[in-house]
Amino acid sequence: MRFLCMHKAGAKDEAGIPPPPELIAGMGQLIGEAAASGTFLAGEGLRPSSTRFRLDFRAGGCEVRQGPFTGENDLPQRLVILKVDSTEAAIDWARRFGQAAGATRLELGPLTEPWDLGMMPKPPGKVPLRFLLLQQATAASEAGTPPAAAQLQAIRSVLAAMQQAGVLVFSETLLPSKKGAMMLACEIASVACVLRRRSEVSSPRPTMICATSFSPMRLSTRTSMQPATCRCRCCDS
């Protein structure tokens, strides 16, 4: 069973203040241990909401707004990571994806790179930009209603076009939030231990822990976990 773990942004994150070296080192150790045990598949961080865009789809049109944003407790149902040459290209692909998926809202934001945290110098020359695209959940997705066949085919087509263009890095769909959990910061360590034990003892399949940050919510110390949809139908989730 795979899980997506989402850490909510705080005031320092929104201000663009890098985490202290000891926190980076501690996260590196945790991720290293999780990767070595096979429970960690991927992890990314988002830059402040002032660098992000929201695409709202209404009446056949698409309105693009740039941050900063305040938290609106939006639940994600699908995420895509893109690697593009420009912000404009990312917005164009996001618009195409939103139209194909029948989305009501998408949030598009640049991912944090190692040089943003001072971990390494920025490579010389033109460096590709990586963006995380989040699709807002709807009443239908929260009820567990699958997309119609035509819509599902449209999503597959745009993802195939992304892959052919060399811009698709990763895509995943989440199960309804009722199958996830919201945790306060003090609960995270104990839940992580439970996940590790469960993955080692009762499940031969990896647990996905993807560290991402979103626009600040009313309680920015919360972290939420939501199971990801298994495409290969190999698990009972």
List of long-range contacts for 60-69, beta carbons under 8 Å, 24+ apart? 62/95, 62/98, 62/99, 64/91, 64/95, 67/215, 68/14, 69/107, 69/215
Confidence at residue 200, expressed as pLDDT on a 0 to 100 scale? 40
Confidence at residue 54, expressed as pLDDT on a 0 to 100 scale? 93
pLDDT tens for residues 126-142?
Answer: 899 999 999 999 899 99
Higher pLDDT, 2 or 86: 86
Higher pLDDT, 64 or 45: 64
Q: What is the mean pLDDT of the chain?
A: 76
Tally Cβ neighbours within 10 Å of residue 191.
14
* For range 87-108, the mean pLDDT: 95
pLDDT tens for residues 200-219?
Answer: 433 333 333 344 433 333 33
